[in-house]
Structure 1
Amino acid sequence: MRNNTIYFMMMRVRMAPPLLLVFLLMIHGVSGDDNGWSVSYSPPHICALKYSTVIMNCTYTYPTGYKIEKVFWTKTLVMDNEEPPDLSNDPEYSQRLQYLGDKQQNCTVRLSHVTLKDSHMYYFRFKTDRPNGKWIGKSGVNLTVTGDFDLQVESPERVTEGDSVSLTCKSSCALTDRATFIWYRNSQPLTERRDRNNETIVGSGRIFIISKIRSDDSGEYKCKSINEHGEKYSDTVTLNVMYPPRNVSVLINGSGVIVEGDSVTLICISDSNPPAVNFSWFKGGTIVGSGRIFIISKIRSDDSGEYKCKSINEHGEKYSDTVTLNIMYPPRSVSVSIIQSGQIWAGDSVTLKCISDSNPPAVNFSWFKENETSAVGSGQSFSALQSGRFYCQAHNQHGSQRSDAVTVTVHHVAGRNVIVITATSGGVFIIIIIILIILKKRRSVKVEDHRVKEISDPNEDTYTALDLKSTTSDLYDTLATVDRRRPEDS
């Protein structure tokens, strides 16, 4: 089949210019003419280690009707009508040269135990039974014998995670011996194995293949060639596998407790190759900063919330999980709330409740009567049974704050109590009337310098009229009982 291919090739170029024909013959290691005479060498160049065995593959053709009488190899290139020396008759070759071909088409020869002196051009010569029916393959085989050779690993310049990667063990000398190759990563030998996707990774042979390479396949690779004459290591090459960000997380620098006024540093941590250089910070769904480090100076309670970062490199991006900043602060906006409903009669009390904003919520409350150093009560609620100005103080582990004072005034009216709450806020005094007592007899009650009087209705023995008079905002409201008849002595 090969001879037919060569023949048809020769027929296609028989009309080509002479220089082009010579060039084509040199490339394919073919010597011949357009009359059917040819010799083909494969390969035309052979590099062999010292003391190894070389096989020079060869085929030849000749016109139909000719009979082959003699075949041999020679180192001497002569004209067709001259006779070169036969290597099988040379004492230096006779014991090492073995003709493996025939007298039809195959002209392969084996040369064993080659030495540096065997580096030479070799030609095949054949003769037929007709005058001038002889031919020599002038392109020949160029044999180079070396005592050493360079071994190198050919690798891709850029590798990204998921790529299929091939490493090739190449030498400066195309060795003819069937060598064994062993591959190493970080000085450890590699054998055939399967990866996480059940893809085969071959660790032996001239070509080393990694299908769907991972980042942990990064490292220094080299190959070793072994034959019967010794072994040779290549130089190392480095596989640096690129991959997008992963394992992205947020590190909060400092203790676990963040108190209002602290300076808080958030650091975006990610694993990527090349390292990520672009980072974005988000609070909820809103971007709030950039850079690997995000600093909040003098943090406030409204900085509380969920934060995350996004890490970006040229191969992709990834968000971190969220972290929650829970800002602690002492009590603030402390106030007293009045909890009371319905009428209050003698012996009843008014309930005051301490309200505050703090984190964590205040659990300790103290109640004080103004101008007294000792607490008069504890707990979030306090029952006032006597007149006075009262305030509360809320506590948590980060501090405390007191409320403004409220005034509680208890009046005695004919054996009954009227409780009046006076709240003071920002310089404005407000009197809240908790109970109005309907008297069945004529009585008078003095409340904060205002007079309450009872008069008789013309149609009733006695009745009480309530007239609530408005004053300016910085005065007490006035509670008055208006006498619509002339007062009588009790």
Structure 2
Amino acid sequence: MDLSNTSKTLENSLITVSGIDQLHFVSGVLGESCMNVTYTHQSICALKGSTVDISCFYTHPSWYNVTEVSWFSKWETGVTNDLSQDPEYADRVKYHRQTDKDSTLKITDLRERDSTEYKFRFKAVNAEWGYTFSGTTLSVTGLQVEVTPATVTEGQRVTLACGTICTLTDNPNPSYIWYKKGQRLTNQNNSLILNPVSSEDAGRYSCAVEGFEDLHSPEETLTVKYGPKNTRASIHLSDEIVEGSSVTLTCISDANPPVDKYTWYKKIGGHYQSFSYGNTELQHVFSAIQSSDNGEYYCEAPNEMGTDRSESINIDVKYGPKNPSVSVSPSGEIVEGSSVTLTCSSDANPPVQNYTWYKKNVTSPILSGQNYNITTISSEYSGHYYCEARNKIASENSTALMLIVAVKQTSNKTAAVGIIVVVLVLILCLSGLMWFRKKASKSTSGTIETRDTADDGQGDSSPMYDNVLGMEMQQRQRPPSSQDDVHYTTIHFSRSKNQDELCTPPSSTLL
């Protein structure tokens, strides 16, 4: 028997007992020497991003001089390159030893693809061994957040649990820290309980193991279904609203699921009426807004959970003067000498700031102010008048008003009364004269006695004419020689009551 060949065969024979790599060397009668590799852990669970130490102890005959130690992975490919030379582990692995019989593989910044089996091998001058046997299996796990129930409605109880796919070898019962949108919350154990959950609880949550606060789990979004709330209506405008400009109304509401239809309402006659029902856009656009669009508005936002409405907003459309007009007071015929006021009125927003008065065929304005007062009007004021109304938006002229001033005349009633009085006076005077002549004619054809008797016997003789009759009789009784003398006699008229009221003739003299 060739003992040397037998010895080499046995030298490379490896027996695995209880996870220990053993090498038995038999050299004839020299007895048996044992070499083995013992791993500290058969499996390790480590946190993604952390650092892990994989260690082992090995033995060999004292006369073996160990020249090299190394660690390997990727056994399934049959490639056994040293990890320190593997580009995937570059700058992330280191070998450490405390004695000549131990070795530790340190891997930093663990990644999930680092999950595999790791084995140790050492070399001596005449042999190398250890890599063909079971090593240490590494599992790299990340933290995960689980939400229960998966679909959450406002008011329910919700539980958020933080965990790993395997039990951490170095920390089997970890304490967890919770974060919402990156902000740390009060420490909880494995679970974060929200009871009852509200819309404010919705958001992104993550967790970390205490002591590894910089190693967060991926964020898990907590979705809470709720009806619309905080609905707001707004106007997109950098300056005041001017008639003819484009104005956009926007309705915003916080809701889940989101609002997909909006309705706008306008206050008309004390009641709100919809004018844009079920609009799929959150905006309503007035492409050329008008003064008639002035008023109060609000929007309504519904979803499957409920409906909410905004507060009212006011649209105040500014516009220039509209339909200026001129009115006159008092109304009716305008007579010379009377007082007249012309007033200019116009609808405008903001209100008219300046009124200016013009008269046709007069180049310059005649007055400023809303009212044009004429205290004593004359015919020269007749003509066409109009006003100009102006605010900061625009100006507008009124239509012309024709002013006609009538000449002042005596009223028909006064003229009629005057004519009647004059006619009556003339009639009375004429009647009196006729009566006087008749009386004088009767006196000349009768005797003095008859006259005296008539005078004494009748009370209808008027003393008004006594001096006249006496004068005529004296003239008739004079001798002819005395006719050359001229005598002047004054005749006094006695006025009766009726004559005093209607006719008062002047004093007369007879020659």
Between structures 1 and 2, the one with greater helix share: 2
TM-score by length of 1: 0.49
TM-score by length of 2: 0.47
Between structures 1 and 2, the one with greater strand share: 1
Structure with larger Rg: 2
